[in-house]
Structure 1
Amino acid sequence: MTNKLLHTPEGVRDLYNGKCLQKITLDQKILSVFQSYGYRPIQTPTFEFFDVFSSDVGTTPSKDLYKFFDREGNTLVLRPDITPGIARAVSKYFKEQSTVRLCYSGNVFINNTSYQGRLKESTQLGAEYIGEKSVESDGEMITMVVDSLKKAGLHDFQISVGHSDLFEGLIEESGLSDEMDRVKHLIMNKNFYGLQDYLTEKCIAPDLQKIFMTLNAFFDTPSQWEDIMVLAESYPRIYATLKYLKELDEVLRLYQVTDYIHYEFGLLTTHKYYTGIIFQGYSFGSGEPIVKGGRYDKLMRYFEKDAPAIGFAIELDQLMLALQRQGNDTVPFAKKITVLYRKERRQEAIQKAMEQRIEGVTVELVLVDSASDFEKKKLQFSDSEVLDLYS
């Protein structure tokens, strides 16, 4: 019983002192970037009705949700993802607005197995651009990710950009719709030898097989996939997607962020609601993506508003881990004064503290009751400037 009183459950943790300050500081810095692009803050509930995150929405499997009941018998869920809650809120409060830019910060909850070693409660910061479907809006979102990570102090990172229509177009042209899950499993597990054998077994056309194999490649510029575009000319959906990515690269060059971008044709996700561009951010020092995002043009229909949309979420805990392992996780504390005073000098101590706080200085008032206590507390607060009102 004592252990349970002092320890947290698996998958959650306490943050205090420097780490807590770092998290708050990063939150403020990144939100300031979002707001500089015209995104307005929104808060949605920590828990919602189960239907908001049901399998129809395509976010998180039911077994990974924290579910409970209210007094009326409704099934409620701790949110595993903030995007569906924002989609619901936009459908309710912004029905007549053609475009909406929103940003957020909040905690999400996923009931991972304990063996995975992942946090079950984590913090996300993100943005959603609803009502606009264009290469310009896609470019803006990816650029905002780059600016946010740079503002956070991260410099060594890459954003992988893909498109769901590449995979879906290949499945469609190959006539493998009934086998889509199997093919997706092979690609997500990077089993391209198994994929090659499977495509040969199914007698898929050689040019389609060559395009399938590019799902294992990374590209820095569109010039590197010119030969693939030639192969794709007979397949309109695939060709149009490659052409779209080429135009996206032109937009990103205007924003001067292409040094942080590469294109990964095999980028797939477990979130079923993505319908177009998909992107993820990676950095050394973090085993998981620090950013996940993409276009979800059909999700809003589930909440009775037919509107295209794109969004992303920065995994703040993963970002902090990356910053730590890159040696850039320190947050300078503001100047601090500790006033050690005896009761007889209370008025003087309070007056000095108030004067300094008006000037923006952090001041701690510490009552001292003896000479030995004074020496002990002087050592305790050695990290700050000590003002002696005891002697």
Structure 2
Amino acid sequence: MTKVLLHTPDGVRDIYGKECSDRKLICNRIHDKIKSFGYKDIETPTFEFFDVFAEEINAADTKELYKFFDKEGNTLVLRPDFTPSIARCASKVMLENGNPVKVVYQGSSFLNVSNLQGKLKENYNIGVELMNDPSVYADAEAIALLIETLKCSGLSDFQVSIGDADYYKGICEEAGIDSDTEEEIRAQIIGKNYFAAEAIMREKNVPKKYTKLIVKVSEFIGSDSALDKAMDEASNERSISAVKRLKDLYKVLSYYGVEKYVSFDLGILSRFNYYTGVIFSAYTYGVGDAIAKGGRYDNLLGKYGKEVPSIGFSIVIDDLMSALYRQGISVENKEEIQVLKYSPDNFREVLEKATELRRSGQNVSMQME
């Protein structure tokens, strides 16, 4: 029993000392940068009704949700992702006047992933949602803001890979692939298991032409020249429009001066079903997965009431901090604590001195001699 009380469950951990202070400092820097772009704070509940997330995550992945019941028998879940929660809130109270809505959030998300994956089950996130703006300029702002937040954390060697969910979905539509089969194929492609993806398509009698093209999507990687290759292979309007938008996006990103941090990857897909257009992930060395992910979700808010186009991203602070430490990047946390010793005889005088120092902005710890 004592062992159980002293240890955390698998997938969660205690954070304290310098690491905890460093995290808060980095979060504050990122938050300040996001606020400078005109975003307002928002908080949503840690748990929601299961139905808020049920349609937005693949059926095979719902087992990774932390589920429980309230007294009325409703199924609740700890949030695996912030976007559906914010979409629910925004569609109810924030979109009355038709203007763009910009919000910034931070907090923990929860996924009951397998212990064999070596991933945390609780991750701290900070991110944004830009709603009611369908333009390529909104896409560019979200990606440029992500780049600026990573730079202000101290990171300099990273890349944001950009794709478009509509390119892949356009091919699936043209091939006549139903939504359930598309989910199966997408799950295998996300896991880089292209042989399994091909096997599913063979079983479903997908024409070889489209089987080959869907697997080939992962090869369209690199600079903006990769978009030309993708355009040459596309033969449906949805996929062609996706490539055209990425070309326009690259042009606007060049106005921000962030082109060196950008590359394209038409093979980027997400386990979440709500992404409809531009989709992106940020990578750096020292971490095995993306440190940030985002994309456009134009149909999500309509499920909660008011349908408006939206885009956003989320940074996984746990992975960002791992990258900073492994790359030897100093967080420059200058937090200093002055220690004043006291005894029962001089406690009042030392307390007065400590109070004066605290008013001047210093951190003071009083300790008995």
What's the TM-score, normalizing by structure 2?
0.91
Q: Which residue of 1 aligns with 2:89?
A: 89
The CA deviation at 1:288 is: 1.5
Q: Which residue type is aligned with residue 12 of structure 1?
A: V
- In structure 2, relative to structure 1, the CA distance for the partners of 1:190 and 1:59 (3 Å cut) is closer
The answer to whether the 8 A contact 1:41-1:104 is kept is: yes
Alignment of 1:204-353 (within 5 A): 204-205=208-209, 209=212, 213-221=216-224, 223-232=225-234, 234-353=235-354
Structure 2, unmatched stretches of 5+, are none
- In structure 2, relative to structure 1, the CA distance for the partners of 1:129 and 1:330 (3 Å cut) is closer
Q: Secondary structure at the match of 1:349?
A: helix
The answer to whether the 8 A contact 1:124-1:313 is kept is: yes
Q: Which residue of 1 aligns with 2:57?
A: 58
Residue 79 of structure 2 corresponds to residue 79 of structure 1: yes
The answer to whether the 8 A contact 1:163-1:241 is kept is: yes
- In structure 2, relative to structure 1, the CA distance for the partners of 1:286 and 1:241 (3 Å cut) is same
The CA deviation at 1:96 is: 0.8
Q: Which residue of 1 aligns with 2:41?
A: 41
The answer to whether the 8 A contact 2:340-2:350 is kept is: yes
The answer to whether the 8 A contact 2:175-2:206 is kept is: no
The CA deviation at 1:193 is: 6.8
Mapped partners of 2:359, 2:142: distance in 1: 39
The answer to whether the 8 A contact 1:211-1:228 is kept is: no
269-278 or 116-125: which moved more? Answer: 116-125
Q: Which residue of 2 aligns with 1:117?
A: 118
The CA deviation at 1:364 is: 0.9
The CA deviation at 1:130 is: 0.9
Residues 11-70 of structure 1, C-alpha deviations (whole Å, 9 max, x = no match): 11111110110111111111111111111000111111222122x233783311112222
Q: Which residue of 2 aligns with 1:155?
A: 156
The CA deviation at 1:197 is: 9.1
- In structure 2, relative to structure 1, the CA distance for the partners of 1:177 and 1:317 (3 Å cut) is same
Runs of 4+ in 1 over 6 A off after TM superposition: 193-201
- In structure 2, relative to structure 1, the CA distance for the partners of 1:227 and 1:322 (3 Å cut) is closer
The CA deviation at 1:337 is: 1.4
28-37 or 354-363: which moved more? Answer: 354-363
Residues 335-372 of structure 1, C-alpha deviations (whole Å, 9 max, x = no match): 3311112221112211211221122111111111xxxx
Mapped partners of 2:77, 2:178: distance in 1: 32
Aligned-residue CA RMSD (Å): 2.3
The answer to whether the 8 A contact 1:53-1:59 is kept is: no
The CA deviation at 1:209 is: 4.5
Q: Which residue type is aligned with residue 273 of structure 2?
A: K
Q: Secondary structure at the match of 2:31?
A: helix
Residues 298-330 of structure 1, C-alpha deviations (whole Å, 9 max, x = no match): 110110111111111100101111111111254
- In structure 2, relative to structure 1, the CA distance for the partners of 1:143 and 1:6 (3 Å cut) is same
Q: Secondary structure at the match of 1:268?
A: coil
- In structure 2, relative to structure 1, the CA distance for the partners of 1:4 and 1:212 (3 Å cut) is closer
Mapped partners of 2:274, 2:227: distance in 1: 27
Q: Secondary structure at the match of 1:344?
A: coil
What percent identity do the matched residue pairs reach? 39
Q: Secondary structure at the match of 2:157?
A: coil
Q: Which residue of 2 aligns with 1:380?
A: none
Alignment of 1:365-380 (within 5 A): 365-368=366-369
The CA deviation at 1:180 is: 2.8
Q: Which residue of 2 aligns with 1:379?
A: none
Q: Secondary structure at the match of 2:346?
A: helix
Q: Which residue type is aligned with residue 184 of structure 1?
A: R
Mapped partners of 2:339, 2:289: distance in 1: 41
Q: Which residue of 1 aligns with 2:30?
A: 30
Q: Which residue type is aligned with residue 143 of structure 1?
A: A
The CA deviation at 1:333 is: 3.2
Q: Which residue type is aligned with residue 315 of structure 1?
A: V
Q: Which residue of 2 aligns with 1:187?
A: 189
Mapped partners of 1:177, 1:249: distance in 2: 32
- In structure 2, relative to structure 1, the CA distance for the partners of 1:48 and 1:235 (3 Å cut) is closer
- In structure 2, relative to structure 1, the CA distance for the partners of 1:338 and 1:145 (3 Å cut) is same
The answer to whether the 8 A contact 1:199-1:209 is kept is: no
- In structure 2, relative to structure 1, the CA distance for the partners of 1:197 and 1:62 (3 Å cut) is closer
What's the TM-score, normalizing by structure 1?
0.86
Which of the pair has more CA radius of gyration? Answer: 1
The CA deviation at 1:151 is: 0.7
The answer to whether the 8 A contact 1:323-1:329 is kept is: yes
